[in-house]
């Protein structure tokens, strides 16, 4: 799955020393549901409304596009039946996934795709 979004600050920062910091902060400022994190859940069933943290793993680019791999630390919850004796924990559980980013520098349009390997 891919999620279309805009990252204008990152597009303008390409080629500068602070590009990685700008990209990380701009991705972390997005609401979790703007990223394809639901597809990356492995130990839980629903995305928790918690802040996420982004780590840039790899970046390469040209004058037109930037491709990056980012790791995202976030939280999910395991939704149970909501019965009084349900042992399912309701507190957020840690999750992690990696996303591929394609950023068009002229427009700031970006696509994030869950890595499937």
Q: Where are the domains of the chain?
A: 2-114
71 vs 1, which has greater pLDDT?
Answer: 71
Segment holding 29, helix H or strand E: helix 19-29
pLDDT, one tens digit per residue, over 83-97 is: 666 565 578 899 999
Q: What Rg value do the Cα atoms of the chain yield, rounded?
A: 16
- Model confidence over 55-87: pLDDT tens digits? 999 999 988 999 999 999 999 998 765 566 656
The number of CA neighbours under 13 Å toward the Cβ of 63 is 0
Q: What is the DSSP letter of 82?
A: -
Q: Within a 13 Å sphere around the CA of 19, how many CA atoms are in the beta-carbon half?
A: 17
- pTM here is 0.86
Query: Is pLDDT above 50 for 46?
Result: yes
Q: How far apart are CA 94 and CA 109, in angstroms?
A: 29
């Amino acid at each position: 799955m891919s999620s279309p979004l805009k990252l204008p600050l990152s597009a303008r920062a390409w080629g500068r020393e602070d590009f990685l910091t700008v990209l990380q902060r701009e991705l972390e400022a997005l609401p979790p549901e703007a990223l394809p994190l639901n597809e990356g859940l492995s130990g839980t069933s629903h995305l928790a409304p918690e802040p996420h943290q982004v780590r840039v793993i790899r970046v390469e680019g040209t004058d037109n596009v930037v491709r990056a791999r980012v790791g995202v630390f976030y939280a999910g919850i395991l939704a149970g039946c909501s019965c009084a004796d349900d042992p399912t924990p309701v507190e957020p559980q840690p999750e992690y996934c990696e996303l591929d980013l394609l950023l068009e520098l002229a427009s700031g349009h970006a696509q994030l795709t869950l890595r499937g390997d």
